[in-house]
């Protein structure tokens, strides 16, 4: 479904395939200015009248053949232009500068040094924390531009031509981890581009309900609900828009869920409207679909396609819904953009709501996704507007494929390699570096997770060692690291139960200690690293985020980690407990 039209956009964001393109637009709207996204190659003539143009980041290199481009005439339209990351590089290249590969990639937190009095940095000059995700860099500035800021590894972190109102930043002001990014965007919009406030992000529920009625027409809506925030809010919006006679839901117990999940979901939907959601047990079907699979993309596809198969079987049986129907989903924006949902975006990971069977339904106009332009925090705001219980809205995100993508597998055995800075573990995880997907081994350091400065060191290690995208620390183990190895493993009922016990233990301890209130999400991962007697290792991944597009690793209190580690090592088959120190980027929140 498409969003309701807003006023004519004062700001247009040109999409060059960056993972944060929609985040830029959202941040601009949060500042009260209506903005829209258009393809990067939109002709300048189609942008006449806009007050500002923002060129997004992207996964390509500007000097590569076929890389996303912009119409050079946009720089002489008279509108203010801000290039972000790839956008800065593209601006520099088109206006006579030079862009080259950097000596090192730069991913995650960095420190910007700027003492410029340029309007872009009005009120925020000086040393400040920023968020980087790039490989290339501007080597030579275009004529008329001045250098506005640098970092330790990026000499040209910001440039500007005040007379023409053209500015560029190599970092990402749109992400929450750039501490003064909101003020920088505000400076650009109001001081440089002379924009006016014409947009409010509040009161979204009524707008979405109107759009649901237009999209559904006379058709009924059927949901496969999970009990998570997204699907519950989407289901509730449809329930309010269409009424309980036209909305039905089914919770499929895949056998990949957490402890007590089915009982929790049943209770949530009974409180919304008794009898609108049924429970279907399909544990064996999903386990069979995953048998022997080790590749994360194949696993995601297998789960997504099994969802579609189960859906078709159940709907064709006629037990759950009669008449003309469409499928409702709780898909939110990060799910689509990381699946290559943007025209130029790189595939980071295939979301289970974007596999082939779902794409077919999209092409048939049989999908309704009320939340597809929203982020997790915005979904929670809508849920609060709907009056949903705070306990539900505060739940940590849990992936649709469940524990299957937190139970990592290996096709073959592998030994750990001792490097200068730690152990290279031949278990690969998914990352996002320079807006592109990576699938690389993990670096294990033997320092305790609470070692002062270890998080910053982890970031530097990822930037300096090209073959990794994640760093973990050793919290505890039954055997020394040198004695452990990776063994061939797929998803089995025994490994899933081992992970389910570990996840349940972590959730209980976090709830009882209050630590769950200090993190946005806390994935617990199982990897096939250990010894024959104890073949698996648990990885703890507590993170803080606002919307899931970026995240920071959070170190828990030493006493809680110590107690948790001892309890996890008491689970049969668990050899070690590791702690993920990686921010996003360069590592995705989930490992697969």
Q: Which of 46-60, 196-210, 304-318, 547-561 has the highest mean pLDDT?
A: 46-60
Pair 344, 55: CB distance under 8 Å:
no
Catalytic positions, written as ranges: 85, 172, 174
Render 413-437 in DSSP notation, one character per residue: -EE-EE-SSSEEEEEEEEEEETTEE
pLDDT range class, residue 348, cuts 50, 70, 90: very low
Residues of each domain in the chain carrying CATH 3.30.300.10: 406-580
Q: What are phi and psi of 17, to 5 degrees?
A: 100, 10
- Residue 442: pLDDT over 60: yes
- In this prediction, residue 105 carries a pLDDT of 72
CATH T-level topology, domain 204-403: Rossmann fold (3.40.50)
pLDDT range class, residue 41, cuts 50, 70, 90: very high
Low-confidence winner among 261-275, 305-319, 452-466 (lowest mean pLDDT): 305-319
- Residue 349: pLDDT over 50: no
Question: What class has domain 406-580?
Answer: alpha beta
- Residue 170: pLDDT over 90: yes
pTM of the model: 0.70
Residue range 380-420, pLDDT digits in tens: 889 999 999 888 888 888 887 899 999 999 999 999 999 99
pLDDT range class, residue 4, cuts 50, 70, 90: very low
pLDDT range class, residue 291, cuts 50, 70, 90: very high
- In this prediction, residue 538 carries a pLDDT of 98
Q: Please name which of 172, 171, 158 lies closest in space to residue 23, comparing C-alpha atoms.
A: 172
Residue range 125-158, pLDDT digits in tens: 999 999 888 889 999 999 999 999 999 889 999 9
Pair 393, 384: CB distance under 8 Å:
yes
Question: What class has domain 11-192?
Answer: alpha beta
A 10 A CB-CB count for 592 gives 22
pLDDT range class, residue 532, cuts 50, 70, 90: very high
Q: Which two tokens stand for residue 321?
A: 């819904």
pLDDT range class, residue 333, cuts 50, 70, 90: low
- Residue 1: pLDDT over 60: no
Residues of each domain in the chain carrying CATH 3.40.50.880: 11-192
What CA–CA distance (Å, rounded) separates 240 from 326? 17
Q: Which two tokens stand for residue 326?
A: 């469409």
Residue range 265-283, pLDDT digits in tens: 888 888 888 788 888 899 9
Element (H, E) at 443: strand 436-445
Q: pLDDT averaged over the chain?
A: 89
Residues of each domain in the chain carrying CATH 3.40.50.620: 204-403
Q: What are phi and psi of 63, to 5 degrees?
A: -90, 0
Question: Tell me, what DSSP letter sits at residue 273?
Answer: S
- In this prediction, residue 6 carries a pLDDT of 46
Please tell me whether the peptide bond between 586 and the residue prior to it is cis, using omega within 30 degrees of 0.
Answer: yes
Q: Which two tokens stand for residue 105?
A: 């990639």
Q: Please name which of 111, 101, 90, 84 lies closest in space to residue 137, comparing C-alpha atoms.
A: 101
- In this prediction, residue 207 carries a pLDDT of 86
- Which of residues 570 and 459 earns the better pLDDT score? 570
What CA–CA distance (Å, rounded) separates 222 from 544? 33
3-state SS of 5-48?
A: CCCCCCEEEEECCCCCHHHHHHHHHHCCCCEEEEECCCCHHHHC
Taking CA atoms, 547 is separated from 333, 399, 534, in Å, by 10, 14, 37
Q: Please name which of 492, 548, 494 lies closest in space to residue 519, comparing C-alpha atoms.
A: 548
- In this prediction, residue 3 carries a pLDDT of 38
Residue range 72-108, pLDDT digits in tens: 999 999 999 999 999 999 999 999 999 998 777 777 7
Residue range 212-232, pLDDT digits in tens: 999 999 999 989 888 889 999
């Amino acid at each position: 479904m498409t969003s309701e039209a807003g006023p004519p956009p004062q700001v247009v964001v040109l999409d060059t395939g960056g993972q944060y393109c929609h985040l830029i637009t959202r941040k601009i709207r949060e500042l009260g200015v209506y903005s829209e996204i258009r393809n990067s190659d939109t002709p300048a003539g189609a942008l006449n009248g806009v007050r500002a143009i923002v060129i997004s980041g992207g996964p390509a290199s500007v000097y590569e053949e076929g890389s996303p481009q912009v119409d050079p005439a946009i720089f002489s339209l008279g509108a203010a232009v801000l290039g972000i990351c790839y956008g800065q590089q593209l601006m520099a290249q088109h206006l006579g500068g030079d862009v080259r590969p950097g000596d090192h990639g730069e991913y995650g937190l960095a420190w910007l040094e700027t003492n410029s009095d340029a309007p872009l940095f009005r009120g925020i000059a000086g040393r400040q924390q920023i968020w980087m995700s790039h490989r290339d860099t501007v080597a030579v500035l275009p004529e008329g531009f001045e250098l506005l800021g640098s970092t330790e590894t990026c000499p040209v972190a910001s440039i500007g031509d005040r007379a023409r109102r053209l500015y560029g930043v190599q970092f990402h002001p749109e992400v929450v981890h750039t501490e003064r990014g909101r003020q920088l965007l505000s400076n650009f919009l109001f001081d440089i581009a002379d924009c006016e406030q014409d947009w409010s992000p509040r009161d979204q529920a009524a707008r979405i309900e109107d759009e649901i009625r237009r999209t559904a027409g006379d058709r009924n809506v059927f949901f496969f609900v999970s009990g998570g925030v997204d699907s519950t809010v989407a289901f509730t919006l449809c329930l309010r828009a269409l009424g309980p006679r036209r909305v039905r839901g089914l919770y499929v117990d895949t056998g990949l869920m957490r402890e007590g999940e089915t009982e929790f979901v049943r209770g949530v939907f009974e409180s919304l409207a008794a009898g609108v959601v049924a429970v279907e047990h399909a544990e064996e079907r999903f386990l069979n679909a995953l048998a022997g699979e080790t590749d994360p993309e194949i696993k995601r596809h297998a789960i997504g396609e099994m969802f579609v198969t189960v859906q078709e079987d159940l709907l064709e049986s006629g037990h759950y819904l009669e008449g003309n129907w469409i499928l409702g989903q709780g898909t939110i924006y990060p799910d689509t953009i990381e699946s290559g949902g943007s025209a130029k975006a790189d595939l980071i990971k295939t979301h289970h709501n974007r596999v082939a069977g779902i794409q077919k339904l999209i092409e048939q106009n049989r999908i309704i996704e009320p939340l597809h332009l929203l982020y997790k925090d915005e979904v929670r705001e809508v849920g609060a507007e709907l009056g949903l219980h705070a306990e539900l809205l505060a739940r940590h995100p849990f992936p649709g494929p469940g524990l299957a993508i937190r139970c990592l597998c290996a096709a073959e055995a592998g030994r750990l390699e001792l490097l200068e800075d730690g152990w290279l573990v031949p278990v690969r995880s998914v990352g996002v570096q320079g807006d592109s997907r990576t699938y690389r081994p993990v670096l294990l350091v033997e320092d305790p997770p609470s070692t002062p400065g270890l998080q910053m060191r982890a970031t530097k290690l990822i930037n300096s060692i090209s073959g990794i995208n994640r760093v973990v620390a050793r919290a505890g183990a039954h055997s020394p690291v040198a004695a452990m190895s990776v063994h061939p493993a797929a998803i089995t009922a025994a490994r899933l139960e081992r992970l389910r016990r570990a996840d349940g233990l972590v959730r209980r301890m976090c709830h009882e200690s209050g630590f769950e209130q200090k993190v946005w999400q806390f994935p617990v991962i199982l990897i096939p690293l250990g010894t024959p007697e104890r073949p698996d290792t648990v990885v703890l991944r507590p993170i803080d985020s606002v919307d899931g597009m970026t995240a920071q690793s959070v170190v828990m209190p030493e006493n809680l980690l110590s107690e948790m580690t001892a309890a996890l090592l008491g689970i049969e088959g668990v050899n070690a407990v590791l702690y993920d120190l990686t921010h996003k980027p360069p590592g995705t929140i989930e490992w697969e």
